[in-house]
């Protein structure tokens, strides 16, 4: 069962806006990185703005990766209670993972071979519909994204380049097709970049 969270739980108590680079104090309160830094710089103190706990020296703050996914962010598929923000998605498993659930993909030998990428909403669109393989190439002849198997089986006599190359050096053709190819390649390249 998912916990429903209000927008207030995503607000910094200093700027009253959605968290930007959230950090957690030793007392467990969350603030935007810039807000807490400026607060301490201006007030020349190292206390929590909420509970007023005095830390003496300025404490080392933890990056908060446990702020639940906000509206518009992609949630982890494996979180059972509060859905945390997905940090990566796996093109083999076709799932989105938060920091905790991503750990096996970073440590288990078999899972380390899976291709991880930045989370994108339509993960299935990153795969070839014929072969269920990652779309990694751009067929210049047919002006379409293809997988490695397509390059050998269907497009073997065609000219193709890696998608990243296609995005960096787009061809000149009709405006509508240029927009479609550019937007698709940009989405794929950004998602596949480390």
For residues 54 and 41, membership in a common domain is answered with yes
For residues 142 and 115, membership in a common domain is answered with no
pLDDT more than 90, % of the chain:
17
- Which pLDDT band holds residue 184 (cuts at 50, 70, 90)? low
In a domain, 1, yes or no: no
In a domain, 2, yes or no: no
For residues 81 and 94, membership in a common domain is answered with yes
**Domain final position from 63, 83, 107:** 63
Write out the residue range of the structural domain in which residue 156 sits: 125-192
Angle at 129 between CA 127 and CA 133, to 5 degrees: 40
In a domain, 27, yes or no: yes
For residues 40 and 85, membership in a common domain is answered with no
CATH number for 163: 3.30.160.60
Q: pLDDT digits over 77-112, tens only?
A: 998 777 788 889 888 888 999 888 999 999 999 999
Cβ atoms within 10 A of the Cβ of 191, count? 16
Q: How many domains does the chain divide into?
A: 3
For 23, 42, 67, the CA distances from 62, given in Å and listed in that order, are: 6, 21, 12
CATH number for 36: 3.30.40.10
Stretch 53-61: mean pLDDT? 87
CATH number for 86: 4.10.830.40
DSSP class of residue 159 equals: -
Q: Between residues 61 and 191, which one has the greater pLDDT?
A: 61
In a domain, 14, yes or no: yes
Q: What is the pLDDT of residue 149?
A: 92
Judge whether residue 186 has pLDDT over 90.
no
Q: Between residues 105 and 185, which one has the greater pLDDT?
A: 105
CA dist 148 and 133 (Å) reads: 8
Stretch 13-29: mean pLDDT? 85
């Amino acid at each position: 069962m998912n916990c429903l969270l209000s927008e207030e739980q995503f607000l910094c108590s200093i700027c009253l806006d959605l968290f930007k680079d959230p950090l957690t104090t030793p007392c467990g309160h969350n603030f935007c990185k810039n807000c807490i830094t400026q607060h301490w710089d201006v007030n020349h103190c190292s206390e929590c703005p909420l509970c007023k706990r005095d830390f003496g020296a300025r404490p080392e703050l933890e990056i908060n990766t446990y702020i639940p996914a906000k509206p518009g962010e992609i949630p982890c598929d494996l979180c059972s209670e509060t859905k945390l923000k997905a940090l990566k998605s796996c093109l083999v498993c076709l799932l989105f993972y938060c920091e905790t659930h991503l750990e096996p993909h970073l440590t288990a030998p078999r899972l380390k071979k899976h291709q991880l990428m930045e989370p994108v909403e339509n993960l299935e669109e990153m795969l070839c519909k014929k072969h269920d393989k990652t779309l990694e190439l751009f067929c210049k002849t047919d002006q379409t994204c293809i997988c490695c198997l397509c390059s050998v089986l269907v497009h073997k006599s065609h000219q193709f380049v890696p998608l990243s190359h296609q995005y960096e050096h787009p061809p000149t053709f009709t405006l509508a097709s240029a927009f479609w190819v550019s937007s698709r390649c940009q989405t794929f390249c950004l998602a596949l970049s480390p």
